[in-house]
Amino acid sequence: MKPSRRLFLTAVSLGAVPAWLTGCGFQLRQTNDFAFKTLYANFSTTSPFGVELRRNLLGTGRIDLLTEPKQMLNADAILDILSETRQQVPVGVSATGQMRELQLRLQVQFRLRTPQGVELIEPVSLALQRDLSFTETAALSKEIEMGILYRDMQTDIVQQIMRRLSAVKPRSLPAPAPALAPEASAASESSAKP
């Protein structure tokens, strides 16, 4: 094949790929927009889950994360992590009674509220589980695999929380009462007099 023809075919195919991708609805992931600018972190920012959630919140570049209790009233919203539970449940045993399969569970309950107590996201519980085969002879490697699976579930839950936070829309303020026209207010005053 001649070099000029190959160059032409390459250019045509590269030009066709972006058109094809946009035609199917493909869009790169973009940073989230949030209805609040400052967020008070009412959760441990030193736990593995808290560290990852904090990193994701700060990574957006659109939120100021407040961690001092004195700053809570200055925040637009407060994120409460109500509970984080990690469980290892044996689901399979051998004929001799040795554990053969574990189910790893991670459950996080959270809510989002304003400093005045208005709930923007009512308490939500997110739960994930993974199955892990287990053998006594490979206990150390299974321990490492368990840590990887928990980290994977933790990342998934953090991403779900981020999506839910970006879905919050600012609450509409109640509309002020319509002002009465001067003649209407005068008529109402005259009808009120005996």
The full set of domains in the chain, from first to last, is: 29-170 (3.30.160.150)
Say if residue 3's pLDDT is above 80: no
Backbone angles phi, psi at 87, to 5 degrees: -130, 150
Sign of the C-alpha dihedral computed for residues 159, 128, 125 and 107 taken in this order = negative
Q: Give the pLDDT of residue 99.
A: 77
Q: Alpha-carbon distance 118 to 123, whole Å?
A: 12
Identity at 48, one-letter amino acid code = P
Kindly indicate the confidence band of residue 194, based on its pLDDT and cuts at 50, 70 and 90: very low
Q: Alpha-carbon distance 24 to 91, whole Å?
A: 43
Say if residue 14's pLDDT is above 60: yes
Contact 109, 82 (CB under 8 A): yes
Contact 127, 99 (CB under 8 A): no
Backbone angles phi, psi at 30, to 5 degrees: -115, 165
Predicted confidence (pLDDT) per residue in 43-63, tens digit: 888 889 999 999 999 998 889
State the average pLDDT for the chain.
Answer: 80
Predicted confidence (pLDDT) per residue in 139-180, tens digit: 778 889 999 999 999 999 999 999 999 999 866 333 344 544
Q: Give the pLDDT of residue 48.
A: 92
Identity at 177, one-letter amino acid code = A
| Average pLDDT for 24-31 | 60
Q: Give the pLDDT of residue 175.
A: 38
